[in-house]
């Protein structure tokens, strides 16, 4: 054990970890992918927010959840998307930084409200990527997050969803277009039971989460809770 610790300390000296947000070198490991300064300025998703989709700056259920009652029971995302958390997620998704997907998972696992939301759950289910994007990226960041959370919470990871078609990026679409784009885009590949937790990196319109949750309910789940590292404002 002491030898491994010594080797790890040497690796940190030779190859110092760098903050995902400001790129500052660190003399120690960065379990959350961020230096202390960047970690301290993360914006917590607290205060008034929609009790269903966790959208900030809303008292009571937001207009979107009133118009389209979601299939999921609730969303919990501990941080508002932007600043250091956005840098971390972008690099995890698009820059080949699998380690930062693990860091995002640790940030989520450390959130007490997320842990409470996941109580009595039977499994963690990552949102799957389409086959083309999975080949291009080489990994699914949501699956890495789920594995990291599972290690802390002692819950199994079940790859219970599949994409029925490639939907492309959601980021450049309107809210209505996002809803239409992912409608029926998921199917359950395994029989489920009880409460399950859907894992993703960021929730924006919540349409992907809603479509995936609907498929999980059809697959036998009795309740779906959505957990993500960050909540973005509506498009």
Helix (H), strand (E) at residue 4: helix 2-14
Please tell me the predicted confidence (pLDDT) of residue 32.
Answer: 93
Q: What is the CA radius of gyration of the chain?
A: 18
- 193-223: per-residue pLDDT in tens? 999 999 999 999 999 999 999 999 999 999 9
Q: What is the mean pLDDT of residues 157-163?
A: 96
- Residues with Cβ < 8 Å from 39, sequence gap 6 or more? 32, 84
Q: What is the mean pLDDT of residues 156-176?
A: 87
- 103-145: per-residue pLDDT in tens? 999 999 999 999 999 999 999 999 999 888 899 999 999 999 9
Q: What is the mean pLDDT of residues 45-68?
A: 93
- The gap from C-alpha 44 to its chain's centroid, in whole angstroms, comes to 15
Model confidence at 15, pLDDT cuts 50, 70, 90, reads low
Please tell me the predicted confidence (pLDDT) of residue 45.
Answer: 96
Please tell me the predicted confidence (pLDDT) of residue 234.
Answer: 86
Query: What is the model's pTM?
Result: 0.91
Please tell me the predicted confidence (pLDDT) of residue 179.
Answer: 86
Helix, coil or strand: residue 230: strand
Better pLDDT: 14 or 155: 155
pLDDT at position 9 over 60: no
pLDDT at position 157 over 80: yes
Q: Which two tokens stand for residue 157?
A: 């990871």
Query: Long-range contacts for 37-41 (Cβ within 8 Å, ≥24 apart)?
Result: 38/83, 38/84, 39/84, 41/83, 41/84
Model confidence at 228, pLDDT cuts 50, 70, 90, reads very high
The percentage of the chain sitting over the pLDDT mark of 90, rounded to a whole number, equals 75
pLDDT at position 27 over 80: no
Better pLDDT: 158 or 27: 158
All structural domains of the chain with their residue ranges: 1-41, 43-231
Q: Compute the distance between CA of residue 126 and CA of residue 12 in angstroms, rounded to an integer.
A: 31
Q: Compute the distance between CA of residue 149 and CA of residue 195 in angstroms, rounded to an integer.
A: 16
What is the CATH class of 43-231? alpha beta
Q: Compute the distance between CA of residue 133 and CA of residue 208 in angstroms, rounded to an integer.
A: 16
Q: What is the mean pLDDT of residues 180-184?
A: 88
Please tell me the predicted confidence (pLDDT) of residue 28.
Answer: 75
Average pLDDT value for the chain = 92
Q: Dihedrals φ, ψ of 126, to 5°?
A: -75, 145
Contact 106, 30 (CB under 8 A): no
């Amino acid at each position: 054990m002491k030898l491994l610790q010594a080797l790890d300390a040497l690796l940190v000296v030779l190859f110092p970890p760098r903050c995902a947000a400001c790129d500052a070198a660190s003399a120690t490991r960065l379990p959350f992918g961020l230096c202390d300064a960047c970690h301290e300025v993360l914006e917590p998703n607290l205060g008034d927010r929609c009790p269903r989709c966790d959208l900030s700056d809303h008292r009571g259920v937001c207009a979107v959840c009133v118009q389209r009652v979601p299939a999921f029971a609730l969303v919990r995302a501990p941080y508002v998307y932007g600043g250091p958390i956005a840098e971390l997620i972008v690099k995890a998704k698009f820059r080949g930084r699998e380690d930062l997907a693990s860091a995002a998972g640790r940030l989520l696992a450390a959130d007490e409200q997320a842990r409470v939301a996941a109580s009595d759950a039977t499994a963690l289910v990552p949102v799957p990527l389409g086959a083309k994007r999975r080949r291009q990226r080489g990994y699914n960041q949501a699956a890495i997050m789920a594995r990291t959370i599972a290690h802390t919470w002692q819950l199994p990871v079940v790859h219970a969803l599949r994409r029925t078609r490639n939907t492309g990026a959601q980021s450049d679409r309107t809210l209505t277009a996002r809803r239409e784009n992912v409608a029926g885009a998921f199917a359950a590949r395994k029989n489920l039971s009880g409460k399950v937790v859907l894992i993703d990196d960021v929730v924006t319109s919540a349409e992907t989460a809603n479509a995936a949750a609907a498929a999980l309910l059809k697959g036998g789940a009795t309740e779906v809770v959505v957990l993500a590292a960050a909540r973005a404002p509506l498009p």
